Amino acid sequence: MSFATISVIGLGYIGLPTAAAFASKQQHVVGVDINQHAVDTINRGAIHIVEPDLDQVVKTAVEGGFLRASTQPVAAEAFLIAVPTPFKGDHEPDMVYVKAAAESIAPVLKKGALVILESTSPVGATEQMAGWLAELRPDLTFPQQAGEAAEINIAYCPERVLPGQVMVELIKNDRVIGGMTPVCSARASELYNIFLEGECVVTNSRTAEMCKLTENSFRDVNIAFANELSLICADQGINVWELIRLANRHPRVNILQPGPGVGGHCIAVDPWFIVAQNPQQAQLIRTAREVNDSKPHWVINQVKAAVADCLAETGKRASEITIACFGLAFKPNIDDLRESPAMEIAELLSGWHSGTTLAVEPNIHQLPKQLIGHCELATTAEALEQADVLVMLVDHQPFKAIAGAQVQQRWIVDTKGVWR
Ligand code: SAJ
């Protein structure tokens, strides 16, 4: 059975590349988003987010008539829901956008449709979504009621693409397919196989939900280990970068890299979904989150100590000292500042410091509003020329290319080992 129309609900960092991937295989795709600006931009053949190669795929798909965007859901043979799942309150998952997406497609659901949830979700979310749909459409049968004979098929199929490499990973990575029934899994596999070069690995919806959370928690725990080591090494007078390089020469050791903290919308969020559902058991996962979340504050204290030292040595007043923060993005070589520990550090430092705080971020042209009036956007050359204290926050390629001789400052806080 083919899919005459595929509808992707949510045209963000995951939904738009997914919609474009189907459209690039000559599938008719309708992308739906509540953001009118995003819809208008896509319908012009352009994109509203930054992701390598996505612009060209979207342009070709729109010009070829395979992809269009709308603020209103339309009937389709397959719906993919890729909306945000942030947390609320005490780090509990907020399913409000998934619920709104389910409510928006319910009126246009037809017998035979496949509904896939892609958003990172707590265990049980797919069954919950199926419940909302069944309530809104009592005229249709769903897997939780009719099993294999259901008129609507439902599956959980998490995305696992790395921002910055989405157009490659979307197609090459294996895809976990968690159908509510084997028929649901078979149909979901058929859908993804339209563009997938990786394998569809079939399981049930609850295991697929937990699998996504597990992958990101695994990475968070491993980064927390590296971050904890960086604190220990600072106290012991050991270069953590050298230490990790040496330890990783052991055939069964593979330590990740410390940094200013963990950012982005996934790794700093998803482990909390496990903690919220399993507060007694998830001790290590919770502690890893706490270790990573506390790292920016440790970095700020290091900078304060460097400034104090600089004041004592130079006899300058605090207002005469310039601090330069290198990098604002949440990780190297991207322009995404959301949930970035570097942003948090720049914001808190500039609020504390009475002198000038420079921010160097080669991937942006204007400062985000939180920093306007507190920081000045500077080039690498200006910062190296003017600053007394350097704070390396993101190992962007251009920063790694700075020659050692250009860095004359005595006071350096290097969270990424670039100037080690
Ligand atoms: N980081 C470190 N040290 C490291 C690696 C990363 O401090 O050794 C930091 C980064 O600087 C960044 C944060 O961790 O602040 C997250 O970056 P990332 O590159 O590890 O991951 P994301 O958030 O860009 O994407 C992750 C990926 N998950 C895994 O690798 C398990 C991606 O595959 C997921 O699809 C994505 O989350 C998601 O959407 O869930």
Q: Which domains does the chain have, with CATH numbers?
A: 5-198 (3.40.50.720), 240-414 (3.40.50.720)
Residue from 13, 167, 223 whose mutation best tests the ligand 1 pocket (most atoms within 8 A of CB): 223
Cα dist from 240 to 152, 225, 249, 299, 343, whole Å: 54, 12, 14, 15, 23
Binding residues for NAD(+): 13-14, 33, 85, 126, 338
Distance of CA 243 to the CA centre of its chain: 29
pLDDT reported for residue 299: 98
pLDDT at 317 over 70: yes
Q: What is the pLDDT of residues 89-135, one digit of tens each?
A: 888 999 999 999 999 999 999 999 999 999 999 999 999 999 999 99
Mutate to test the pocket of ligand 1, among 167, 331, 335, 338 (most ligand atoms within 8 A of CB): 331
Pairing of strands 87-88, 92-93: antiparallel
SS3 177: strand
* Residues that constitute the known binding site for UDP-N-acetyl-alpha-D-mannosaminouronate: 160-161, 212, 216, 219, 250, 252, 263, 330-331, 416
Which pLDDT score is estimated for 327? Answer: 98
Report the chain's mean pLDDT, rounded to a whole number.
Answer: 97
CA of 292 to the centre of ligand 1 (A): 12
Residue matched to tokens 């992809």:
67
Q: Is the pLDDT of residue 49 over 90?
A: no
CA distances from 77 to 22, 34, 152, 208 (A): 13, 21, 10, 22
Which are the contacts of 310, defined by CB distance < 8 A and separation ≥ 6?
A: 316, 321, 388, 389, 410, 411
**What is the pTM for the complete model shown?**
0.95
**pLDDT confidence of residue 67:** 98
pLDDT at residue 50, rounded to an integer: 81
**Which tokens belong to 342?**
């570097």
Cα-to-centroid distance, 91 and ligand 1 (Å): 19
Closest ligand 1 atom to 256 CA: 8
| Side chain identity, residue 34 | I
Q: Per residue in 366-399, is it b (16+ CB within 10 Å) or e — as a string?
A: ebbeebeebbbbbebeebbeebbbbbbbbbbeeb
The DSSP bridge pattern shows strands 92-93 and 389-392 to be: unpaired
Strand partners, 360: 326
Of 72, 104, 101, 73, give the one whose Cα is nearest residue 85. Answer: 101
Confidence at residue 393, expressed as pLDDT on a 0 to 100 scale: 98
Binding-site residues, ligand 1, Cβ < 6 A: 120, 159-163, 215-216, 219, 223, 256-257, 259, 262-264, 266-267, 330-331
What pLDDT score does 313 carry?
Answer: 96
**Residues labelled as active-site residues:** 212, 266
Q: Is pLDDT above 80 for 149?
A: yes
Q: How confident is the model at residue 325 (pLDDT cuts 50, 70, 90)?
A: very high
Query: What number does the ligand 1 atom closest to the CA of 340 have?
Result: 15
What angle is formed at CA 86 by the lines to CA 165 and CA 213, rounded to 5 degrees? 60
Query: Is the confidence at residue 51, as pLDDT, over 90?
Result: no
Show the CA angle centred on residue 230, arms to residues 227 and 234, nearest 5°.
150
Distance 69 CA to ligand 1 centre (A): 29
In a 13 Å sphere around the CA of 359, the CA atoms on its Cβ side amount to: 28
Q: What angle do CA 394, 366, 320 make, to 5 degrees?
A: 70
Residue 145: left (phi > 0), alpha (psi -120 to 50), or beta?
alpha
What 8-state DSSP symbol labels residue 406?
Answer: G
| Phi, psi for residue 333 in degrees, rounded to 5 | 65, 30
Q: 7 with 82: CB under 8 angstroms?
A: no
**Atom 7 of ligand 1: nearest residue by CA position:** 259
Where do we find the tokens 């570097």? 342
Q: What is the pLDDT of residues 166-189, one digit of tens each?
A: 999 999 999 999 999 999 999 999
pLDDT for 163 equals: 87
Angle between helices 96-105 and 125-136 (to 10 degrees): 40
Q: Under DSSP, is residue 57 helix (H, G, I), strand (E, B) or coil?
A: helix
Q: Which atom of ligand 1 is closest in space to residue 267's alpha carbon?
A: 23
Q: Whose CA is nearest to atom 32 of ligand 1?
A: 162
**Cβ pair 178, 205 in contact under 8 A:** yes
| Percent of the chain topping pLDDT 90 | 95
CA distance 226 to 84: 29
In the prediction, which pLDDT does 380 show? 97
- Which atom of ligand 1 sits closest to the CA of residue 220? 14
Q: What is the pLDDT of residue 90?
A: 87
198 CA from centroid of ligand 1 (Å) = 20
Contact 221, 288 (CB under 8 A): yes
Q: What is the pLDDT of residue 1?
A: 60
From 162, 255, 414, the mutation candidate for ligand 1 (largest count of ligand atoms within 8 A of CB) is 162
Residues annotated within a binding site: 13-14, 33, 85, 126, 160-161, 212, 216, 219, 250, 252, 263, 330-331, 338, 416
